[in-house]
């Protein structure tokens, strides 16, 4: 039985947009080990349509050292509008995405890892499909950008499963769903 986890680089003010503009000064070997362990645990990526389109435009032609991992890992795209994909190893799941993901969790596999896709994460947290929310909270106030939980987001109780303070000042926080 697998689980679904969501991973974010996030600022103190909740911004998850464009971490490439504020994240890297805090990246060190400790964080690299955490991110590497998360990647090793995952056997499938789950993306929302907008994140998929951004990634599909970049990764297939990238010579970045992460390109083989990104290109070869099986990917699921949650979308009600996308019907075809151009990025190899990608399958679109539409309709009742939460029900389909709950079904996939019951099957073989390790971890389905959500990459980015804040809108998708919020909707899946609301219906209780996400098992863990993993945040790498950076000690910076970005001031502007898309927040993981903007004003008006639904209330979703979580419980702290693990926390670790890194030498860079980043906090690694893992939250789990609260069972009803």
Tell me the domain boundaries of the chain. 3-177
pLDDT reported for residue 40: 87
Q: What is the pLDDT of residue 116?
A: 85
Of the options 3.40.50.2000, 3.40.50.10710, 3.30.230.10, 3.40.430.10, the CATH number for the domain spanning 3-177: 3.40.430.10
Question: Which stretches of the chain score pLDDT less than 50?
Answer: 180
Q: What confidence tens digit (pLDDT) does each residue in 151-169 have?
A: 988 899 999 999 999 999 9
- Give the residue from 92, 105, 93 showing the smallest Cα distance to 132: 105
Q: What is the pLDDT of residues 117-150, one digit of tens each?
A: 899 999 999 999 999 999 999 999 999 999 999 9
Structure tokens at 177: 């769903």
What pLDDT is recorded for position 139? 98
pLDDT for 1: 64
pLDDT of residue 49: 93
């Amino acid at each position: 039985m697998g689980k679904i986890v969501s991973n974010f680089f996030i600022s103190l003010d909740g911004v998850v947009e464009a971490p490439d503009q504020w994240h890297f000064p805090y990246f060190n070997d400790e964080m690299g080990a955490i991110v590497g362990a998360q990647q090793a645990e995952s056997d499938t990526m789950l993306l929302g349509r907008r994140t998929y389109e951004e990634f599909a435009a970049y990764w297939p032609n990238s010579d970045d050292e992460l390109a083989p991992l990104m290109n070869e890992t099986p990917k699921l795209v949650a979308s009600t509008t996308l019907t075809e994909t151009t990025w190899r190893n990608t399958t679109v799941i539409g309709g009742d995405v939460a029900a389909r993901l709950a079904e996939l969790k019951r099957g073989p596999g390790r971890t389905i890892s959500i990459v980015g896709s804040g809108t998708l994460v919020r909707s899946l947290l609301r219906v209780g499909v996400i098992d863990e929310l993993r945040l790498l909270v950076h000690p910076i106030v970005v001031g502007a950008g898309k927040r993981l939980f903007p004003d008006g987001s639904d209330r979703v109780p979580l419980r702290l499963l693990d926390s670790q303070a890194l030498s860079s000042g980043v906090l690694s926080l893992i939250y789990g769903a609260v069972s009803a």
